[in-house]
Amino acid sequence: MSAVRSWYAPVVTRLRTTNPYVVDSALAALVLFAASLQWMFPDEGDDPLSLVG
């Protein structure tokens, strides 16, 4: 875990210090993309057993 944290922490610190809104914008875009996929393909993840009975 410390090996992962050793390379992860400087990257996050550098992203936060240069422009703190870059990470937040990327996360917001990812959430909107996932929501749009759910809206475009609403029947892809349905469980057929839940429709019985």
pLDDT at 53 over 60: no
Predicted local confidence at residue 5, as pLDDT = 67
The model's pTM is 0.45
* Boundaries of every domain in the chain: 2-40
The pair of three-digit structure tokens given for residue 51, joined into one six-digit string: 């429709």
Q: What is the per-residue pLDDT for 41?
A: 75
pLDDT at residue 29 in the model: 93
Closest CA to 18 of 8, 27, 7, 10: 10
CA distance 13 to 45: 37
Structure confidence by residue, pLDDT tens digits, 5-49:
677 778 777 766 667 787 788 889 999 998 888 888 777 666 666
Q: What is the pLDDT of residue 46?
A: 62
Tell me the one-letter amino acid at 28.
A
3-state secondary structure of 19: coil
